[in-house]
Amino acid sequence: MKKIFYAFLLLIFIIASCSKPKTDQEQIKKQILEYKKQLSELNSKIAELEALLVDSTEVNKGIYVKILTIESQKFEHYFEANATVEAINDAFISPQYNGQIQKIYVQEGDRVTKGQLLAELNSEILKNSVVEIQNALDLATMLYKKQEELWKQNIGSEVQYLQAKNAKEGLEKSLVTLNSQIELTKVKAPFAGIVDDIYQKEGELGVPGVKLLQLVNLNELYVNADVSESYLAKIKVSDPVTLTFPSYPDIKIETTIFQKGNVIQSANRTFNVKVKITNTNELIKPNLMANIYMKDYETDSAILVPTVILNKDVNGQFVYITEESEGKYIARKRYIKIGQSNNEHTEVFSGLEAGEKIITDGYNVVKDGTNITF
């Protein structure tokens, strides 16, 4: 031990005594790597000797360990699925009528209310037609009134009266149709939201089905996950879930399943699970990646052990428990049958009972029959 320590000091002295720095940078780097390698080897040898020292001095009084008394407790298991965010109200807005885009009233990033005018197409031809129909309607209305007065006095024929009435009513309907067409040249917001993108410019031709702008509302969102069909019977609507977002490590949302798909996708044997969330601060965006944790198993009474202490050999999974013998404590290997496991605990179906003591610290340095102290 002392020889290694002196060798370590000698190595430090050699490094410190290099008073002639080399100009060759590559050579310097090689020397540094060589010294680091030697230092690593020395540290390994020191650790080995210290371990032997512990084995030789501590064998009589036992290796110090920490223990845990097993208790029956509630256990829940969650599985993880990748998910994506979808806006409930997200639409590509297009005109409902053909025409030249006369005016766009909003800019990208503007917040709009439901029914607000976003853009307007050229409607001069329709407006001129309205004037013509209105003039014809005024005349038809006057003729109808006169014909109606004559008909009440039994003057003229019923046919003349009906023709005048039909002409008036036909023009009224034509006027309503024209006004409706004029209204279609006005592009209005179908819901409140944010103008995310504008695809066309003033002067271009607006056509139904062709994107004019995109409107999105971030207040309410869906989180969609494709889940393996093996979990179909294990989850249901209103089950609690936890949402996390890789882009926002500090955000964690506790909610419930909003909708469970009824169709298994033949391509990947999955079904859709949908979660609905309120996005009050609007940090979460559509198409953002998310992780959804869903509960697929729970029990009110389970024997749990820390997952990290599980060992395995050719005979199966095992842990070390404590056993008292002649006033001393020894470590005993105990084979167990395990069930579900999470990041912290694993359920034990058989092999352990409540009240027994398992070794949680020092489990990796003891063997079956090793003297221990705690």
Domain with residue 369: its CATH number is 2.40.420.20
Task: Give yes or no for residue 6 having a pLDDT over 60.
Answer: no
Looking at the structure, do residues 287 and 308 belong to the same domain, yes or no?
Answer: no
Give the distance, in angstroms, between the CA of residue 152 and the centroid of all CA atoms in the same chain.
Answer: 75
> Bigger pLDDT: 81 or 17?
81
What average pLDDT is seen over the chain? 85
How does residue 83 score in pLDDT terms, banded at 50, 70 and 90?
very high
pLDDT tens per residue across span 260-318: 999 999 999 999 999 999 998 899 999 999 999 998 888 888 999 998 889 888 889 99
| 164: in domain | yes
Looking at the structure, do residues 236 and 132 belong to the same domain, yes or no?
Answer: no
Q: What is the pLDDT of residue 164?
A: 84
Q: How many residues does the chain have?
A: 374
Q: What is the pLDDT of residue 34?
A: 73
Q: What is the pLDDT of residue 1?
A: 47
Q: Among the three residues 164, 186, 206, which one is the final residue of a domain in this structure?
A: 206
Looking at the structure, do residues 160 and 260 belong to the same domain, yes or no?
Answer: no
| 211: in domain | no
Task: Residue 39: count other Cβ atoms within 10 Å of its Cβ.
Answer: 14
Looking at the structure, do residues 94 and 26 belong to the same domain, yes or no?
Answer: no
How does residue 60 score in pLDDT terms, banded at 50, 70 and 90?
low
| 158: in domain | yes
Q: Among the three residues 257, 280, 297, which one is the final residue of a domain in this structure?
A: 297
Looking at the structure, do residues 105 and 142 belong to the same domain, yes or no?
Answer: yes
How does residue 57 score in pLDDT terms, banded at 50, 70 and 90?
very low
Task: Give yes or no for residue 12 having a pLDDT over 90.
Answer: no
Task: Give yes or no for residue 17 having a pLDDT over 70.
Answer: no
Task: Give yes or no for residue 344 having a pLDDT over 60.
Answer: yes
**Residue 168 belongs to domain with CATH number:** 2.40.50.100
Percent of the chain surpassing pLDDT 90: 48
How does residue 21 score in pLDDT terms, banded at 50, 70 and 90?
very low
Task: Give yes or no for residue 36 having a pLDDT over 70.
Answer: no
Q: Among the three residues 297, 323, 351, which one is the final residue of a domain in this structure?
A: 297
pLDDT tens per residue across span 87-99: 999 999 999 999 9
Nearest-10 crossing angle of helices 25-58, 2-16? 160
| 48: in domain | yes
| 231: in domain | yes
DSSP lists the bridge partners of residue 68 as: 358
**Token pair in block for residue 215:** 């409107």
pLDDT tens per residue across span 227-260: 999 999 999 999 999 999 999 999 999 999 999 9
| 212: in domain | no
| The model's pTM | 0.64
Top-confidence range, 130-134, 251-255, 341-345:
251-255
Looking at the structure, do residues 263 and 323 belong to the same domain, yes or no?
Answer: no
- Range with the poorest average pLDDT among 46-50, 190-194, 216-220: 46-50
pLDDT tens per residue across span 170-179: 888 988 988 8
> For residues 363 and 68, what is the distance between their CA atoms, to the nearest angstrom?
12
The domain total for the chain is 4
Residues 135/141/143/146 CA torsion (nearest 10 deg): -150
Looking at the structure, do residues 200 and 109 belong to the same domain, yes or no?
Answer: yes
Looking at the structure, do residues 139 and 283 belong to the same domain, yes or no?
Answer: no
Looking at the structure, do residues 186 and 38 belong to the same domain, yes or no?
Answer: no
Looking at the structure, do residues 121 and 175 belong to the same domain, yes or no?
Answer: yes
Specify the pairing of strand 371-373 against strand 63-64.
parallel
Average pLDDT over residues 2-8: 47
How does residue 20 score in pLDDT terms, banded at 50, 70 and 90?
very low
DSSP state of 235: -
Task: Give yes or no for residue 180 having a pLDDT over 90.
Answer: no
Looking at the structure, do residues 22 and 124 belong to the same domain, yes or no?
Answer: no
Domain that holds residue 324: 63-76+300-373
pLDDT tens per residue across span 184-198: 999 999 999 999 999
